[in-house]
Amino acid sequence: MSLDPTYLDYPKRSLGYDHALYPYSPLPHRAPLHWPAGKTVVTWFVVSLEWFPITPEDKPFRAPGHMQTAYPDYRHYTSRDYGTRVGFYRLLDAFAKVGAKVSVAANAAIAARYPGIIADIVSAGHEIIAHATDMNGTIASTLPVEEERALIVQSLATLEQVSGTRPRGWHSIARSQSFATPTLLKEAGLDYMIDWANDEMPYAFTNGLVNIPLNHELSDRQIINTQQQSVDSYAQQVLDAHDWLAKEAAGQGGGRLLPLHLTPYIIGLPYRMDAFEALLADLAARPETWFARGEDILEAFRNTP
Amino acid sequence: MQDGAKDPGLYDFTPYRGRKPISWPGGKKVAVWVSPNLEYYEIDPPANPHRKSWAKPHPDVVGYAHRDHANRVGHWRMAEVMSKHGFPGSVSLSVALCQHHPEVVADANARGWEFFSHGIYNTRYSYGMDEAQERAIIEDSIRTVREATGQTIRGWLAPALTHTPRTLDLIAEYGMDYTCDLYHDDQPFPVKVAKGSLISMPYSLEVNDHYGFFIYNMSPREYAQTLIRQYERLAAEESGTVMCIPLHSYLIGQPHRIGAFEEVLRHIAADGRAWITRAGDIADAWNDAQQEVAA
């Protein structure tokens, strides 16, 4: 069977992207972006705080970290809860030790079920990023747009009601979006999202929504769970990344971004926490480091002429 | 190839033992070439009935954005390190990149890199193409690269490694010198084609950064050590070998990986046994070596 003749048609083969979501802009051609107080590397932690129903819905696919065995999957349901009950509090204490303010990407279900944890996040000065409803709340182009809009609205309303502040940032489950998502996020009043890891600095989508790229490879999930490397290797890779970025910033002028995505049920285990706290101390000791939240990075980006 | 035969008849069996060593220019022991894949993946490609493109419904944000990092950030970081240590690239090019992001292609061309074709897009597969369709993508590749860079492509790495039984015959007919799709040796060898001639240029899946990080799940430092071991072994053998380092800048150009990789280039450049070169130059040197044997 030969291919349909249209398989060799390339209607979008022209200058720029094959979509209009955001414009092309190579980083070396951009004006430098400077962080406050002369810091050159902003270390940005994003902690995902998630509630997994024990009844996964697979619409259209199962979220990372979701249930794996036949029903009822006590082992994954409870070990995810371990992250929320125990691991996350270890992380809060660790961040406090070095004075780091972070972003917490929380499911609305966390706020609805455990308002106390939201109060602990807010009182510590951390930021809450809206992270859908619960871990069945995956967005994809298979979801009708009206349902997607309702999911976004509901997530924001719940998080605002419990935390007292409307989230400015959005993180989709599995970073999965439809072609309508940037429009719907803008329409819901959001300022930024963190799903697209195609860059290393903040940049604006065509509709004005800012994307702050959250590197999906420099994460505990990718390095420790997927690639099966040790926490020591994870820490080494983070420091290697920091030191490269600091050198690049010094050479080229302007700041760089070190985004670190964390998962409480992965990094927050007892045998990993000492290494993680040592990493935090190593980062804090580097003169280039500015620990910041997503909204702080957004402000620095917007304040750059 | 012999379409439908149990043995596709790609080349003769030639065991490693007893070969006359190849002498690379300058008496070097191993020809080292770096092959950056400069690619364009479409966000919403048409379906090919023989292979799915993205794992997730379109847009597959993780997959698409990861590849896009190469054209916004990764390329320059990788290319700067290569240039700093004197390594030219031999580019496996999705030729539509010449239309979408000519900035990337122009940068590579200005660095003196060679280009060969990796298809139109890495989301358009050759599986199922008839002969006219396959001729069309080969002619498109030749024309597009010539217009964008002034270079005439000499080699082929099938788009997303998708082939038809007639690909090798066709690229030889169009005058190409080498294919990067065959993995049977550490030295170039003649490939049996219907008309003209073609050699297999040792590329590598085993030390490809994609395999290192996503098949073997190596850390950046483990991958760097793997490349150094590969180099040390090939340089120590007497036969005159080829070592290819195939790269994707959205992988090797990540900030946690590039530093370890730079140490590999520093090591090879300082060693003295490496002929650091491009694929087309290796093909020429191999051809010269065959002429000497024949004379």
For residue B124, the domain's CATH number is 3.20.20.370
| pLDDT for position A286 | 98
Pairing of strands B198-200, B189-191: antiparallel
Q: What is the predicted pLDDT for the residue at A281? A: 98
Confidence of residue B293 (pLDDT cuts 50, 70, 90): confident
Structural domain that includes position A197: 37-302
Tell me how far apart the 2 most distant CA atoms of chain B are, in Å. Answer: 59
Residue B253 lies in a domain: yes
- CA gap A78, A92 in Å, rounded: 20
Give every CB contact of residue A89 below 8 A, 6+ residues apart in sequence. Answer: A120
Determine the Cα–Cα distance for residues A277 and A208; give it in Å rounded to an integer: 37
In the three-class reduction of DSSP (H, G, I as helix; E, B as strand; rest coil), residue B275 is classed as strand
How far is residue A54's CA from residue A68's CA, in Å, rounded to a whole number?
Answer: 10
Q: Residue A128: name the closest of A107, A108, A111, A106 by CA.
A: A106
What residue ranges of chain A have pLDDT lower than 50? none
Quick check: is B265 in a domain? yes
Query: Is A124 domain-assigned?
Result: yes
Q: Does B57 score more than 90 pLDDT?
A: yes
Q: Mark yes or no for CB contact B62/A175 under 8 Å.
A: yes
Question: Is the overall model pTM greater than 0.95, yes or no?
Answer: yes
**Residue ranges of A 137-176 with Cβ closer than 8 A to chain B:** 140-142, 172, 174-176
Of B65, B213, B258, nearest to A197 by CB-CB distance is B65
Nearest by Cα to A8 from B159, B64, B287, B230? B159
Q: How many domains does chain A have?
A: 1
Nearest to B100 among A4, A15, A241 (CB): A15
As a whole number of angstroms, the distance between CA B243 and CA B126 comes to: 27
Q: How many domains does chain B have?
A: 1
User: What are the tokens at A187?
Assistant: 């329409």
Tell me: pLDDT of B40 over 80: yes
Residue B192 lies in a domain: yes
**What per-residue confidence (pLDDT) applies to B291?**
86
Interface of A with B in 111-140 (CB under 8 A): 140
**Cα gap B200→B87, rounded to integer Å:** 22
Residue B14 in domain: no
Q: Is the pLDDT of residue B160 over 70?
A: yes
Determine, yes or no, domain membership for B270: yes
CB of B74 closer than 8 Å to CB of A205: no
Within-domain flag for A31: no
The answer to whether residue B209 sits within a structural domain is yes
Reported ipTM: 0.97
Q: Do A241 and B49 touch (CB under 8 A)?
A: no
Min Cα separation A281/chain B (Å): 18
The mean per-residue pLDDT over the stretch B22-29 comes to 96
pLDDT value at position A1? 61
Between chain A and chain B, how many beta carbons pairs sit less than 8 Å apart? Answer: 160
Give domain status of residue A7, yes or no. no
What's the distance, CA B255 to chain centroid?
23
A-chain CB neighbours of B66 within 8 Å are: 197-198, 216
Q: Within a domain: residue A29?
A: no
- What 3-state class would DSSP assign to A77? helix
State the greatest distance between any 2 C-alpha atoms of chain A, in Å, as a whole number.
Answer: 65
CB contact under 8 A, B66 and A176: no
- The whole-number pLDDT of residue B112 equals 98
- Residue A128 is assigned to a structural domain of this protein: yes
What distance in Å separates the CA atoms of residue B95 and residue B118, rounded to the nearest whole number? 7
pLDDT digits (tens, 9 = 90+) for A4-32: 999 999 999 999 999 999 999 999 999 99
Answer whether residue A25 is part of any domain: no
Q: Which of B202, B243, B280, B189 is nearest to B32 (CA)?
A: B243
What pLDDT is attached to residue A257? 98
Which residues of chain A are within 8 Å of residue B211 when distances are taken between CB atoms? none
CATH number at residue A192: 3.20.20.370
Question: Given the structure tokens 């290319």, which residue do they identify?
Answer: B79
User: Is B260 within 8 Å of A218 when comparing Cβ atoms?
Assistant: no
Q: How far is residue A145's CA from residue A131's CA, in Å, rounded to a whole number?
A: 18
Containing domain of residue B98, as a range? 28-44+53-288
The stretch B95-111 carries a mean pLDDT of 98
Residue at A27 is within a domain: no
As a whole number of angstroms, the distance between CA B85 and CA B90 comes to: 15
φ/ψ of residue A140, rounded to 5: -160, 170
Asked, for residue A32, whether it belongs to a domain, the answer is no
Cβ–Cβ below 8 Å for A196 and B61: yes
Rg of chain A on CA atoms, in Å? 20
Q: Which of residues 186-245 of A touch B (CB under 8 A)?
A: 195-200, 213, 215-218, 223, 226-229, 233, 236-238, 240-245
The residue type found at A50 is: E
CB-count burial class (<10 Å; 0-12, 13-18, 19+) for B75:
buried
Dist. CA B207–CA B241, nearest whole Å? 15
pLDDT band per the 50, 70, 90 thresholds, residue B207: very high
pLDDT value at position B295?
74
8 A C-beta contact, residue B125 and residue B149: no
pLDDT of A2 reads 77
